[in-house]
Structure 1
Amino acid sequence: MTSFQAREGLDPNPLKRDPLLFEMYMDALDHVLGRREIQTALEEYGMAASRLRLQLTGDAPRVFSRAAPEFRAYQTLALKPDRLVPDENELGVLRPLAVGLAVLGGLSLSTGVLGGVLGWTSAWIALWAGAALVVAAVTAWLIRARMTFLGRPLLSGEGVPGYDPELDRARSSLISALGRGLLLEEVREVINDRRVGQFGTAFLVTGSPGLYELHDSIFTVPTRTAQEVQRLLDTVSGISLGIAGPRGAGKSTIIRYYCDPSQTAGDDLRCMVSAPVDYAARDFVLHLFSTFCKSVIRHYSARPAAGKTPGRRLLAVMSAARRLVSDLAIDILLLGAAGAGAWFLLPDPWPLPAVALVGAAGLWRGLSAAMKIIQSLDGRPDAETRTLIRAARSHLARVRFLQSHSLNWTGSIKLPVGLEGQAGSSVARAEQPLSYPEAVEQFRAFAHRVATFADRKGHSVFIGVDELDKIGTAEQAERFLNEIKGIFGLPHVYFMVSVSDDALMTFERRGLPLRDAFDSSFDEILRVGALDYAESRRLLYRRIIGLHEPYVALCHILAGGLARDLLRTARQLVRLGHALSAAAAGDSNGGHHSSFVDYLFTAETGAAPTPPPMLTELSAALIAEELRRKARATVHTGVEGQCRALLYETAYGIAGECEATAIVDALLDKGPLSPLMRDFAAYAYFCETLREFIGRLDGASVARCVDERTWPGSFDALAGARYAFAVDAEIAWETVSAFRTAWRLPVRRLV
């Protein structure tokens, strides 16, 4: 490694070495900081946009790393050795060399001029030698200036669109990835981390557009599973990977992140399909084949110059022309000096052949540089890529259409005497649909061809099969995998398939040959588990501004650490908070104006401010609503007797404060309970524990719950109890009891 490469390694911020990326990043950041949501938060918490801009500029490598595929593609191009700016020590020798050559050239020119005045016959030799030395000095200076940070954009056009279309495309993909919501989430998280009073109990959230954004960025939160998936993919050159886990844990998000072209840009080929609930193996493989062909056509037909405005096209042409002139300037100086020296210094008959040879070399250099720049401006796929596109279109037509070919031949002979004869022949060939083995074979052959082509270019091929966990029964999922596993196992192809935890548990309970079914289909199976508290907080901080730590803990525990349920609970919390604010203020607008800004306004007008909802009030309402939902879901399952009346009163009662303690006491007093009622009693026990626990939270207890993750009274412990309901209610009950013991709350026994 050279010294300037080492220096680049010590300074990883790409904004310092790429002025164009810096400009694009700042434009995107200014756009985010100008959003109404961010402006309101900055005013509410007394933060300056300039400080956030400065912090996010310094943290640009971490921000860029959230768009990992695009950032890696950009770094691959931007950190090539010929793009790195050398260290001053390596360029230092060029400065004294240029100065020395210039001095010698000046002395030689002066000697030649003086000799001409005095009538020396050899004065021309000194003139030409001096001119050659001056040209060499200018050349050394140009080389040094061109390799400096400021000289490269000035003399070569680097740093403006069009200098390198491939690097331009990498920059645009990186900034586009940030513009899809990643940069906005980063700004939200920075505001949440910098605000004062994170352990407060007042509900001061004024808006939550991030909770309703369509894009799903759970994978961009650096969870343990996300990092494990990335490490695994970095160590293999092709894999069939199963992503298992409960519904709502984020399996589909991980698969979409790698395999959905609408989620992730870059040069990797991505293809995404959904497994049908009611399927035929042949139809599914043909559908996958068709989708893969469309992805190949769309991906490799995209021209780098597409979508440029006329102004950017003109700028690209001007930059290319400047680059061409810059590349040829040094060559002309060097070759001109060499040609002049050969013409005047070589004896006859060598000057003319030498000059012709130098001219031919100059012409070849000029044509090569011009053709290279013309090809970079054209942007059309090369011959091999066009062949691949034609093959994809041919396969797509073969899969989608039943073709028929016919050949007709007729001939006639007419004699002068009026006799006429005619003969004809017809041959028709109808192309039959692909059988299932043929479809698998052709798909594997074409996918292998595409993957080999992509690998030569340093790219990868990702194919995702989502919604497999939605297939009705475990037997159907096993049969589906066994029938389509023939498409797996291709070099340089990354297959990612979602698998339900429910199906896995069903296999285990029934004693089916689980390992045979899955081990023959996948190289690895990774399980997406529940989020811990730190991951849940990071996810919510990137979606909503102003949510204090106790509210984050409330959402995390009620969701059991499942990402999908975490966002649902947060949305429900915000709706309840606005409803309570509206009820307190007598406002019919839903309470969306209750915030710190309202306090300032009412202080100026002299009106009494409406107090925001507090933690105990809001958590009690949220827990009661959650218990009502579970009661409504249970009462319609055929429960009889007094338990049915209790459930109905809990679900639809008019008086219903839904006291979980009274519900648990009433159910336990009825003696042995049915399995369904035991589950509901355990859930009511969990809800009552959560209500009592939230009422005791303060800054010190929050800090302990976060720091001591293995403590039975931590946030993750109670969230684990909520997660355990998917496995067994008695396990959940025992976990809740251990939590209550840690907090010195009375413990109940499940009978």
Structure 2
Amino acid sequence: MAEVEQQKTQQEEIDDAITAELADKEIASAMADMVVSADELRKELGKRTEVIEAATSAERSRLQEREQAFGDMGPQLREIETSTIRLLSISWLFVGVGLILALAVPLSYGRNGPDNTTWFITSIGVGMCVSSLAIRLMDRRTRRLRRGLSVDGADYALMQSGVETARQDWRSALRRAVAGLLREQINRRGPSYSLTLDIAEAGGLEGMKSPLFHIEVPAEKDADRRIRMMPGGSIGIAGPRGVGKTTLLRQFCSKEHAPPSDSTADKPSVRVLLHAPVKYDAREFVLLLFTRVCSAVAPEKADQALVGREWEAHQRRRVVDLVAMSVLTFTLGWGTFLLVTSLAGWKLSPNLAPALTLLLVSLAGIPLWLIFRNRHGREPPDEFSANKEKYGETAAEAAELLRGLAYQQSVSRTWSAGVKTPVGLEGGVSTNVTMTEKPMGFPELVARLNEFLRKLAVNNRVFIGIDELDKIDSDDQVYQFINDIKGIFGEQECFYLISISDNAMSSFERRGLPVRDAFDSSLDTVITVCPAELSLSQTLMRRWVIGMPEAFLCLCHVLSGGLPRDLIRVARELILIAHRDPTVNKSLEALTRSMVHADLTRKALAIEVAAQRLDFEPETGQFICTLDELLTNAPPPTAPSLLLAVGRLTDGLTSSTETPEFARSTHDKLNRLRLETAAYVYFCATLIDTFDNSLVEAEVKRLAAASGDGSLAQLAKVRSSFEVNPRLAWATVSRFRRARGLQPKSYPL
């Protein structure tokens, strides 16, 4: 029933998001231009509800977790407040009645003086006042214990605020997802082949982390197939920066991105994603990993408060037990005293009836109370037993490990007793809890982590993602890091997905050659995430922007090299340039030249900084001056002007063979920098030659559908070719130009 209610609420929220986005200015304007009705779009989005749910699963998961924790916390807090008020009420009642009874002896002096009954009543009153003090002390101790085991009003308010924040985040994600699908539907109804960029608004380009930023790519399907075939192991995820390695890791290793079917699977998944430190320490990293795995399995703090409630109930029973035993013991002692004085014939001469009554009450009450206490006053189970009963042994062990990773708990109990003169018995119990840091050696840490993972894998599949490893600058540090932590790899049903650099991928793929390193012995397989194809870039752009002509989509794809992160940056810059000046020429050729000009200006400044570090004069100074003249302070270029600049940048390029040996390395670095610059300018000249105002609909379709030389796919690969070698990039551009009927240039060396 609750699940049906949740589905109903989710559908209502989706409907509200669709209604809100249909009224958005950008969507409404595009609907009017394309003559599309709101009912048509609403019907189309009704068929894609699963896409919307998948796009907002992370925010939905966070909301459900916080709602559940908040729901568990509410009754608990009310129970705590009620119990506190009840104890305080009992305490004040005891004080009031006790003070009234305690006045019996002072008031008796106004008559015949106090007798035994008066003294007994006064003693009862004093006992009630003492019991009130005991209740206060026990309640204070209970509240002190509750701080570590339960929640208070501040926690409740904070949790309530967190639920509202998570709900707003989910609603915002729904609107972004709905807006993206609406843009896509509108764009698919009428692709534009205009050679002028006329876009008034581009709201979809506001954020990098759009819920629809992820689209399944071939590498994700490959990883899923390999995981299904493997019993466990380590998988390297390689590819250039910005290609989507982190997005791929999130899909497999982030709890928030887990598929809805994961919770109903025979072996649910435990997912942990963490980042490798740039300055690593293997022990600290494994300790962090161990902690994160335990946190993913252990009950939430609000759930563990169940144990706190049981302990609070036990403390309240101890208060009642103290009062009851005090009263019964007092009546037994007083009754015995009265009986002895009566039999001995002492001067007190009390009435024998009260003595017998008190003795009968106490002798009957003490055994009955002891029986009741043994049945209902037993100490509750410890936290491990309570968690084991409710959540299972694995979750209970995770909670224990989580507390013991950094600290160990020691409990000491002491008993002291003594006899005071003339007659008195003094006793006390003291309990001392201390928390001391527990150092654990690295081998022991790895062994305990592997042992816990083996237990966890019996009923679960474990996915652990290690990101940012490709951003560690030194290859030696990366190899050392992998060598240090590879002892945690290899457990059954435990999959490690690790983002690695292209150098690491190269080392792994050369494992059949006489080359062996840490990756060869640590990774079971490597999956390379390749740049996106044109179709994927088009899908993303159609979800971000309404009305982007196909020629401009192709331009953004080529400039980004198929890297999703750069695709959105290029699209932003293109629209900013078009909106910068109302009088600017917004044709394809003019905007391509403006984009190339802005890009070359930034590149020239970066290259100048790199060249300044090379002490090889006068060649370095001449190269910087040429850059400043041709690229930094030049007007928007044309294709012929850039081809001339290529010649200027490579004029006088000489081999380092005749250079003195001490300067040969610097000379080679300068040559490499000049060749990279010239190759990139050559690529930009080709962009201007290709994306001009002659790129009509038929030519756009031909370029997009073609493969091999002369295709847009080939031109987009130039970006990744620069990371390999400038000669390769130059050769790729020349083949494209030759296939397009453009004059190629020869490589300088």
Scaled by the length of structure 2, the TM-score of the pair is 0.62
Is the 2:507–2:519 contact (alpha carbons within 8 Å) kept by the matching residues of 1?
A: no
Q: Deviations over 1:650-702 (max 9, x none)?
A: 45316564842231121233343811101100100000001111014221111
Alpha-carbon displacement from aligned partner over 1:244-272 (angstroms, at most 9, x marks no partner): 11111110111122222344574343222
Paired with 1:515 and 1:527, the residues of 2 have a C-alpha distance of 20
How far apart are the structure 2 equivalents of 1:558 and 1:298? 48
What is the SS of the residue equivalent to 1:222? coil
Give the structure 2 partner of residue 618 of structure 1. Answer: 591
Following TM superposition, by how much is the alpha carbon of 1:20 offset from its aligned partner in structure 2, in angstroms? Answer: 7.7
Structure-2 residue corresponding to 1:33:
22
Give 2:554's aligned residue: 553
Within 2, Cα distance between the matches of 1:41 and 1:300? 49
* Contact kept? 2:408, 2:438, Cα under 8 Å: yes
Partner secondary structure for residue 498 of structure 2? strand
Deviations 1:176-211 (A, max 9, x none): 8972744432222212111x3522111122222322
Matching residue within 605, 617, 622 for 1:632: 605
Aligned equivalents of 2:175 and 2:444: distance in 1? Answer: 40
Alignment deviations for residues 98-143 of structure 1 (CA, whole Å, 9 cap, x no partner): xxxxxxxxxxxxxxxxxxxxxxxxxxxxxxxxxxxxxxxxxxxxxx
2:254 to 257, 260, 275: 260
2:744 counterpart residue number: 747
CA distance in 1, matches of 2:688, 2:726: 19
Output one character per residue of 1:573-595: Cα deviation in whole Å (capped at 9) or x when no partner: 121111143x44xxxxxxxxxxx
For 1:240, the equivalent position in structure 2 comes to 234
Is the partner of 1:640 in helix, strand or coil?
helix
CA displacement at 1:387 relative to structure 2: 4.6
8 A contact 2:197–2:587 mirrored in 1: yes
Post-superposition offset of 1:433 = 1.5
The separation in 1 between residues aligned to 2:515 and 2:391, in whole angstroms, is 42
| Structure 2 stretches lacking a partner, 5+ long | 61-166, 264-268, 305-385, 424-429, 613-618, 656-670
- The residue that corresponds to 1:495 in the other structure is 496
Which residue of 2 is the match for residue 712 of structure 1? Answer: 709
Partners of 2:507 and 2:520 within 8 A in 1: no
Q: Could you say what secondary structure the match of 2:562 adopts?
A: coil
- Are 1:540 and 2:537 an aligned pair? no
Higher alpha-carbon deviation: 730-739 or 520-529: 520-529
How far has the Cα of 1:222 moved from its partner?
Answer: 2.9
Any conservation in 1 of the 2:57–2:256 contact (CA below 8 Å)?
no
In the other structure, the counterpart of 2:188 is 193
- Matched AA of 1:714: S
How many Å apart are 1:547 and its aligned residue?
1.3
Aligned AA for 1:572? E
CA contact (8 A) 2:721 2:728 kept: yes
1:442 aligns with 2:415: no
1:122-271 matches, within 5 Å, as: 179=174, 181-194=176-189, 196-216=190-210, 220-236=214-230, 238-264=232-258, 266=260, 267=263, 268-271=269-272
CA distance in 2, matches of 1:288, 1:448: 15
Structure whose alpha-carbon radius of gyration is higher: 2
Q: Which residue of 1 aligns with 2:99?
A: none
Given candidates 50, 53, 56, the residue that maps to 2:42 is: 53
8 Å CA contact 1:440, 1:486 repeated in 2: yes
1:702 aligned to 2:700?
yes
Which residue does the alignment assign to 1:691?
688
Q: How does 1:59-458 map to 2 (within 5 A)?
A: 59-60=48-49, 179=174, 181-194=176-189, 196-216=190-210, 220-236=214-230, 238-264=232-258, 266=260, 267=263, 268-297=269-298, 383-385=389-391, 387-401=393-407, 403=409, 405-406=411-412, 432-453=438-459, 455=460
Report if the CA contact (8 A) 2:505-2:526 is conserved: no
Inter-partner Cα distance in structure 2 for 1:557 and 1:505: 26
RMSD of equivalent CA atoms: 4.0
The AA in structure 2 aligned to 1:215 is: K
The structural deviation recorded for 1:42 is 1.8
1:736, distance to aligned residue in structure 2 (A): 0.3
How far did residue 471 of structure 1 move? 1.3
State the number of aligned residues: 520
The 1:629/1:505 distance shift into structure 2, 3 A limit, reads farther
Q: 2: CA distance between counterparts of 1:234 and 1:31?
A: 41
Contact 1:177 1:265 (C-alpha < 8 Å) held by counterparts: no
Q: Deviations over 1:450-476 (max 9, x none)?
A: 3433x3xxxx43221111111121111
**In structure 1, distance between residues paired with 2:653 and 2:566:** 33
Contact kept? 1:407, 1:427, Cα under 8 Å: no
Q: 1:735 to 1:203 in 2, by over 3 A?
A: same
Partners of 2:274 and 2:680 lie apart in 1 by: 37
Larger CA deviation: 26-35 vs 509-518: 509-518
Secondary structure of the residue aligned to 1:525 is: strand
Q: Aligned-pair distance for 1:58?
A: 3.4
Q: Once the 2 structures are TM-superposed, how far is the Cα of residue 297 of structure 1 from its aligned partner? A: 3.4
Query: Aligned equivalents of 1:292 and 1:631: distance in 2?
Result: 47
Contact 2:239 2:502 in 1 (8 A): yes
Which digits, 9 at most, give the CA deviation of each residue in 1:612-632, with x for residues without a partner?
711111110001111111111
Instruction: Look up the equivalent residue of 2:590 and give its one-letter code.
Output: E
Q: Amino acid of the residue matched to residue 615 of structure 1?
A: L
Paired letter, 1:439:
L
Instruction: Assess, with a 3 A threshold, how the Cα gap between structure 1 residues 509 and 182 changes in structure 2: closer, same or farther.
Output: same
Partner-residue secondary structure (3-state), 2:235: strand
In 1, the alpha carbon distance for the partners of 2:35 and 2:299 equals 48
Indicate conservation of the 8 Å contact 1:474/1:507, yes or no: no
Structure 1 CA distance for aligned equivalents of residues 54 and 403 of structure 2: 40
- SS of alignment partner, residue 207 of structure 1: coil
Query: CA, structure 1 residues 689+298, in 2 after alignment: closer, same or farther (shift >3 Å)?
Result: farther
Change in CA separation of 1:508 and 1:23 when aligned onto 2, cut-off 3 Å: closer
In structure 1, what residue type is equivalent to 2:625? A
Offset at 1:48?
1.4
Partner amino acid for 2:248? Answer: I
Deviation for aligned residue 1:286: 0.6
1:260–1:272 contact (8 Å) kept in structure 2: yes
Aligned to 2:654, which of 650, 653, 672? 672
Distance 1:60 1:432, change over 3 A: closer
Indicate the SS of the match to 2:438: coil
Q: Deviations over 1:549-596 (max 9, x none)?
A: 111111111111122122211111121111143x44xxxxxxxxxxxx
Q: State the Cα distance separating 1:515 from its structure 2 match.
A: 5.1
3-state DSSP of counterpart to 2:717: helix
**Contact in 1 for aligned 2:406/2:437 (Cα 8 Å):** no
Q: Which residue of 2 aligns with 1:147?
A: none
2: CA distance, partners of 1:233 / 1:540:
31
In the alignment, what sits opposite 1:88?
Answer: none
Gaps of 5+ in 1: 1-14, 72-171, 304-379, 418-423, 585-611
| 1:382 Cα offset (Å) | 8.8
What secondary structure, in the 3-state scheme, does the structure 2 residue paired with 1:43 have?
helix
2:194 match: secondary structure: coil
The alignment's TM-score, normalised by the length of structure 1, stands at 0.62
Residue pair 2:255, 2:271 contacting (<8 A) in 1 also: yes
Q: Deviations over 1:389-446 (max 9, x none)?
A: 43322212112335455565667688999xxxxxx9x999966322112211222222
Cα shift readout 1:328-387 (whole Å, capped 9, x = no counterpart): xxxxxxxxxxxxxxxxxxxxxxxxxxxxxxxxxxxxxxxxxxxxxxxxxxxx99935165
- Structure 2 matches for 1:510-525, cutoff 5 A? 516-525=517-526
The structure-2 alpha-carbon separation of the partners of 1:431 and 1:382, relative to structure 1 and needing over 3 Å to count, comes to closer
User: Which residue is equivalent to 2:121?
Assistant: none
Matched, 1:660 2:649: no
The DSSP-based 3-state class of the residue aligned with 2:495 is strand
Bigger Cα displacement from structure 2, 684-693 vs 497-506: 497-506
